[in-house]
Structure 1
Amino acid sequence: MVVIETRLDPANSLDIDGYHGLALMNFVHSIKRLNILATGGATHYPYDKNKRPSALDFAVYGGLSNTCLSTYSSVDLDSDHLPVHIELAAKRLSVFAQAGLRRRILPSNLNISKFQAYLNQRVLLNTEINSGEDIEDAIDVFNSMANSVFL
């Protein structure tokens, strides 16, 4: 799963962030194995009263049922930006059956605490993404890091 910060508001599509946001959204929708997860509301409330709130944050994911994912915003930062929290409900977790995919996401004997600590140390969560190719690259980097735990 990749979390992206870019403008998704079509009304702001004339600025560069709006253009990138719409291009990313169209790219994700064109690839049937990817989905978008968002709060459904604005995540950016500009200090400038002349600007409109917009949705800046969303996640791109694939291979998981959307019934096991949920998202919400919270007022945790002292800024004009609301962080987006994404929760994975492991009890409802299922992997879509696709050729070449294993049915299990993680090995049953995995130490989750060590796995999480390893990823927290190595995965950069503030990767700038401006194109569909950047999404693919970020997914590849994350998968490479996650799989390197098992080597």
Structure 2
Amino acid sequence: MNIISTGQPTYWPTDKDKIPDIVDFCIFKGIANTNISCSSCWDLSSDHSPILVEITAEIRETTRRCTLHNKRTNWPLFRALTDEAFSVPIALQTKGDIVDAVEYFTTSVQSAAWNSTPINQHKLTEQHIPTNILQKISEKRALRKLWQQNRCPETKKRLNHKIKELKRILNNDRNVGSKRTSRVLIPPLLPTIHSGKQQRK
């Protein structure tokens, strides 16, 4: 099971000594995280703000979180860039100078981190599912839907048989894929050619 929430408080107590708390969340299962989203509803005027959970058939596009570094960050380059940026003398005489210095420090660190961190390119892997497996999955789904409607023991028996058949086909397909991968990674052994006569021990 998975849990989704807005991460924002949903209960706003009238007592000022109490802090807002999260009392609304959604528990789901069997739904991909890319097909479900959650948002807060601010239309009500009570001390409770509900959440809106939206499930879509299409994959939901999410914005990539902005980060300063990752595992491929070039830290020596980051150190060199920050040393060069902080070597510039800055006067701290007035309040405006302090604000400018803080802004310069922040932008210098961000610029050095972004220039020394390459962007991770996420490659989409294409998964090819054989036609016979897709056909078996469709048959299993149809039997499951039929059994949910009539609750017939004969339909349940056919559904169990179809599930076992699908598992057997999937296991065979995985084994074939593993053998194919091992043939590519491990080259066949070449016969050893001995030159000359074997020496007696």
Which range, TM-score by smaller chain? Answer: 0.3 to 0.5
Higher share in helix: 2
- Which is richer in strand? 1
Q: Give the TM-score normalised by structure 2.
A: 0.31
Greater radius of gyration (CA): 2
With normalisation by structure 1, the TM-score equals 0.40
Higher relative contact order, structure no. (Cα contacts within 8 Å, ≥ 6 residues apart): 1
